[in-house]
């Protein structure tokens, strides 16, 4: 190959993007957009195909702009991807709107970017059953990471024979699974009890509750939960109080037993005096002791509760209160104990005062008797002296 042929070849390679750029003045949208449900009670697969006009242009950089949200929402998610599919979780209680368009830039557009028209599809999950048959007020609580109970209320105006069923799915399951241990009331399912090995944190835990009755199908209700945000810790254990000075109490306790990680907990400590209300102090970052300032060394009672802190969950429930501990080491179940202790103290004081008064009275009577006896003795002595003097005087006169 001579030098002229090489020069022509190199020039053709250099000018090829410009030729493509001149030819590509518009771009087609993706084709065969579809939404499919794999049966995981929330995640949906979105798939499409590249425009036919771009399949032969390997030098083009092709991307896809994807928007999706529920049909009545304006807060759509926006995703840019080079792939031909995308998967995400959705609220299946409503229809889902998906919009996509093609974006082309760089070699095919000489550094600029070209957008196609939008293609839109609306996907409607199964909506069989009357809307009033759907369950209400689902509440799930994970107790100390040991088990979870999910309780719901029946739909409004539902027949007595209605029978609800709960299904759940998370990323460690191949397919949705039905509840294995229903919580029942008068023979009807009102909740589901999950064992610890069925609980998984830090991932979507998807639930669908549907059912049937003689009137037909029940409208399904879908929920996506983050179980680490639904934890209720057990109450702290072994709360101990110590007076370190006349105006300071040292409080120490042990974290709840079980699977809870101590560094994930924070605490609220409350203290109450004989005549005061409960006063609170938040103890963060897993500490299990604190100092409380008091005004005098007298009767004080303390209780402690726990919750999951912000470093391990976005939300949580407070535990029950620990047993109430009082100085000097007396436990109380409530206000009655303090009243009994106050009454006992007052009774002891009254007995002591009565004893002192009795001693004073007896001493006074004793002193009075001795004084009377002393006066009588002196009076008798005076009478005797007068008698002797009279006898002496009579003898002289004779």
pLDDT one-digit tens code per residue, 137-156: 999 999 999 999 999 999 98
Cα angle value 340/342/345 (rounded, 5°): 110
Q: What is the mean pLDDT of residues 272-295?
A: 87
- Reported residue count of the chain is 398
pLDDT at 347 over 70: yes
Residue with the larger pLDDT of the pair 19 and 389: 389
Give pLDDT tens digits for 89-108: 999 999 999 999 999 876 56
Q: Which domains does the chain have, with CATH numbers?
A: 3-123 (2.60.40.10), 131-230 (2.60.40.10), 233-340 (2.60.40.10)
Can you give the pLDDT at residue 374? 73
* Cα(372)–Cα(378) distance, integer angstroms: 10
pLDDT digits (tens, 9 = 90+) for 62-84: 899 999 999 988 889 999 999 99
β partners of residue 330: 326
Contact 169, 177 (CB under 8 A): yes
Count the Cβ atoms, other than its own, within 10 Å of residue 135: 23
Structural tokens at position 149 = 């109970």
């Amino acid at each position: 190959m001579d030098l002229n042929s090489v020069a022509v070849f190199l020039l053709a390679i250099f000018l090829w993007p410009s030729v493509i750029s001149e030819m590509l003045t518009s771009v087609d949208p993706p084709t065969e957009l579809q939404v499919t449900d794999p049966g995981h009670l929330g995640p949906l697969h979105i798939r499409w195909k590249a425009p036919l006009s771009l399949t032969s242009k390997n030098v083009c950089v092709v991307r896809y702009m994807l928007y999706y949200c529920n049909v009545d929402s304006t807060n759509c998610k926006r995703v840019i991807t080079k792939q031909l599919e995308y998967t995400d979780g959705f609220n299946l209680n409503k229809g889902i709107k998906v919009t996509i368009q093609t974006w082309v830039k760089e070699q095919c557009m000489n550094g600029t970017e070209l957008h196609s028209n939008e293609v839109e599809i609306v996907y409607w999950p199964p909506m069989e059953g009357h809307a009033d048959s759907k369950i209400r007020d689902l509440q799930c609580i994970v107790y100390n990471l040991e088990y979870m109970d999910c309780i719901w209320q029946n739909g409004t105006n539902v027949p007595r024979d209605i029978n609800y069923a709960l299904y759940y799915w998370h990323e460690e399951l191949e397919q949705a699974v039905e509840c294995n241990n229903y919580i029942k009331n008068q023979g009807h399912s009102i909740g589901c009890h999950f064992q610890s090995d069925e609980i998984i944190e830090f991932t979507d835990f998807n639930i669908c509750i549907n059912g049937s009755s003689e009137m037909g199908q029940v409208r399904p209700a879908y929920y996506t939960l983050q179980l680490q945000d639904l934890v209720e810790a057990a109450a702290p254990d072994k709360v101990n109080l110590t007076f370190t000075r006349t105006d300071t109490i040292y409080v120490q306790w042990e974290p709840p037993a079980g699977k809870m990680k101590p560094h994930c907990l924070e605490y609220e400590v409350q203290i109450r005096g004989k005549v005061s209300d409960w006063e609170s102090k938040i103890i963060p970052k897993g500490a299990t002791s604190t100092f409380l300032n008091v005004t005098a060394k007298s009767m004080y009672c303390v209780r402690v509760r726990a919750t999951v802190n912000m470093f391990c969950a976005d939300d949580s429930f407070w535990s029950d209160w620990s047993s109430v501990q009082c100085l000097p080491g007396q436990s109380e179940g409530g206000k009655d104990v303090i009243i009994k202790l106050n009454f006992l103290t007052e009774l002891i004081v009254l007995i002591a005062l009565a004893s002192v008064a009795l001693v004073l009275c007896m001493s006074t009577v004793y002193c009075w008797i001795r004084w009377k006896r002393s006066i009588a003795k002196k009076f008798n002595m005076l009478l005797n002296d007068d008698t002797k003097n009279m006898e002496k005087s009579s003898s002289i006169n004779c």
